[in-house]
Amino acid sequence: MRTIVILISGRGSNMQAIIRAAQNEKWPVKIAAVISNRADASGLRHAAEQGIPAIVVPHKDYTTRDAFDSALQSRIDEFAPDLLVLAGFMRVLTPRFVAHYAGRMLNIHPSLLPSFTGLATHRQALAAGVKIHGATVHFVTADLDHGPIVSQTSVSVLPDDTEETLAARVLEQEHIIYPQAIRSFIEGRLSLVDGVACIATDKVEPSADS
């Protein structure tokens, strides 16, 4: 049984997709806690309704990034997670925090990295006139939005797309690829080899007559 902790800052729709997949697909996993840096994150309620401890560590209570990250790390480590999942967690993390979870912290970013790092990715994509946009699951490193890529999904950008319509189509895809990536980590199929993320496919058992 693996243990994961999920960090959110807002509505937590990716968190919900992960909880749903873990339940429906009977992952050998305990979602030990959902932690938010904002008390008004609506995703917290959903986590609590699922019986998952929903915890707030308000970043505003700390004067430095380091102090907040230390407090956050202490709360997370009470649960000794095998994997830390960032699901719309909108804080830049200190190198020390990132190093502590090296190789066991995943993030989803709403663009086809390395394009459109940072915020307002859908606006950036529309402004650039790209025809294909998407989302990326990656390991978190100290280099913001540049960790080893685990998986990506793409959507076509339509001529009449707005930020909202594009964001909605990308989000739908996020809800598919993020649970898949987490599942592969939990099953021990996701590894980092020389800084490159590799996913082993399911073993196919040979049939009796082959």
d(CA 149, CA 181) in angstroms, rounded, equals: 11
Q: Quick one: CA dihedral 141, 5, 38, 60, positive or negative?
A: negative
The three state secondary structure string of 52-92 is CCEEECCHHHCCCHHHHHHHHHHHHHCCCCCEEEECCCCCC
CA distances from 114 to 110, 111, 120, 147, 168 (A): 11, 8, 14, 10, 21
12 in a known ligand binding site: yes
Q: Is 146 a catalytic residue?
A: no
Contacts to ligand GAR from residues 42-81, by CB under 6 A: 43
Q: Which of 84, 85, 108, 113 binds ligand GAR (CB under 6 A)?
A: 108
Return the range that interacts with ligand GAR (CB under 6 A); candidates 5-13, 21-29, 61-69, 150-158. Answer: 5-13
Q: How far apart are CA 79 and CA 99, in angstroms?
A: 18
Would you say 24 is a known binding-site residue? no
Residue with the CB atom nearest ligand GAR in the bound state: 88
Contacts of 139 (CB under 8 A, 6+ apart): 103, 105, 106, 107, 147, 148, 150, 192, 197
Using rule CB under 6 A, residue 12 touches ligand GAR:
yes
Q: Which of 46, 59, 109, 133 is catalytic?
A: 109
The torsion defined by the Cα of 39, 98, 117 and 85, in degrees rounded to 10, comes to -50
Q: Which H or E run includes 40?
A: none
Q: Tell whether residue 179 is a contact of ligand GAR (CB under 6 A).
A: no
Residue 14 Cβ vs ligand GAR, minimum distance, rounded to whole Å: 3
Choices 8-16, 18-26, 49-57, 98-106; region in contact with ligand GAR by CB under 6 A: 8-16
> Applying CB under 6 A, which part among 7-15, 19-27, 58-66, 148-156 lies near ligand GAR?
7-15
Give the total of residues touching ligand GAR (CB under 6 A). 15
Of 11, 20, 45, 131, the residue at the interface with ligand GAR (CB under 6 A) is: 11
Q: State which of positions 128-167 bind ligand GAR (CB under 6 A).
A: 135
Residues involved in catalysis: 109
Q: Which residues bind ligand GAR (CB under 6 A)?
A: 8, 10-14, 43, 87-88, 108-110, 135, 171, 174
